[in-house]
Amino acid sequence: MKEETPVLKGKTKKELEEICVSLGLEKYRAAQIYTGIYKSRYTTIDQFTTLSKEVREKLKTHTLYPEIEIGRDLVSKEDGTRKFTFYVGENKEIEAVWIPSGDGGRKTICISSQIGCTLNCKFCATGLLEYKGNLHTWQILDQVLQVERLVGDRATNIVFMGMGEPMHNYFSVMKAAHILRDKDAFGLGGLRITISTAGVTTGINRFIENKEPFNFAISLNHPNPNARSSVMDVNDKHPLEKLIESAKRFTKELDRAITFEYVMIPDVNMGRDNAERLAKIARSVNKCKINVIPLNTDFTGWRRPTDEEVKEFVMHLKAKTTAPILNRRSPGRDINGACGMLALKGIRSETTK
């Protein structure tokens, strides 16, 4: 059986060394290739001028240096957020979002880990898509490379909160995260990278056992164990009680705070009893923060909460817990780039392509 042609992107330094040796090249060439891909952000093999022409020709002949293809590029007229659609195969699309802060200090890229999603969170448009597979590590990293090139700037933060469930593509996601963290590659600190999950406890426990150095967020979205499944079907396989046990273990063993994401849905999870239950969870976990997010989608028949409803819910929450609470609001909502909106095609902004 013919071996597949190796793809240079998405490889660790050790893997690049193995490729170099297999091609009869000196092992030290791997470090030059590694920094060229991730630090210098070269887009073609010909740009690797630290390599001789002979070495470059050998790489072009025996390896691949692909990139995901840009499709749509939407720019928010409200806050400068940009949503990019990329093609990763025939009838296969993913989306990534560039989210600049108002003061220009924080520049976040929200990236995808799967084509579609294996889960069906009721408020999330991605859950309506057919699942078409996991992304390779190089496709995950190329979202960052492509977005930075398109916006002409470098990210300060990366969040794995785009399309897909990161814990269902654990090894590719973690490999990408470690390359993003590496000082010889993208050079982002571990705490500038956030991995998220809808509540896959097996993945959380593996994360803890591996002592991963990244921030971690759980999409909680309902604090009642008997009602959470009506919002998130992941709760059927990974019940809330087990999820909270894993969150407690995270803060105890890694000695770091965990983040709970909470999409606020009127008449579903915003009652005073819900606030009290959520606060109780926060107190039990000890080291945590809560990001509240107003519902952005309406295809379920649910509606977005009013500012007054959000204020009241947060007030009840603050009365019962000292955990930091942040209203994440919804950057990019006018281009369907906010939480839960990726994959929606209803465009209310102008495309640049």
Q: Do the annotations mark residue 74 as ligand-binding?
A: no
For residue 131, what are the contacts with CB-CB under 8 A and spacing of at least 6?
A: 114, 115, 116, 117, 118
221: annotated binding-site residue? yes
Q: Which residue among 95, 110, 212, 261 is the active-site one?
A: 95
Nearest to 193 by CA among 84, 99, 95, 111: 111
Is residue 20 among the annotated active site residues? no
Q: Is 288 annotated as a binding residue?
A: no
Q: What is the DSSP letter of 132?
A: -
Q: Is 96 helix (H, G, I), strand (E, B) or coil?
A: strand
First to last CA, the chain: 41
Tell me if 120 is assigned to a ligand binding site.
no
15 carries a ligand binding annotation: no
Q: Are 56 and 46 in contact (CB under 8 A)?
A: yes
How far is 37 from 43, CA to CA, in rounded Å? 8
339 is catalytic: yes
Nearest to 335 by CA among 321, 345, 324: 345
Contacts of 157 by beta carbon, 8 Å cutoff, 6+ apart:
106, 107, 108, 109, 188, 192, 193, 194
What's CA 60's distance to the chain center, in Å? 31
271 is in an annotated binding site: no
At 101 the three-state DSSP class reads: coil
Annotated binding residue at 121? yes
The residues facing 6 across adjacent strands are none
CA distances from 261 to 31, 37, 198, 220, 318 (A): 39, 33, 9, 6, 16
- Is residue 124 a known part of a binding site? yes
- CA dist 188 → 38, 106, 134, 155, 194 (Å): 11, 13, 24, 9, 11
Q: Which residues make up each annotated binding site?
A: 117, 121, 124, 164-165, 196, 219-221, 296
Catalytic residue IDs = 95, 339
Annotated binding site for S-adenosyl-L-methionine: 164-165, 196, 219-221, 296
Cite the annotated binding site for [4Fe-4S] cluster by residue number: 117, 121, 124
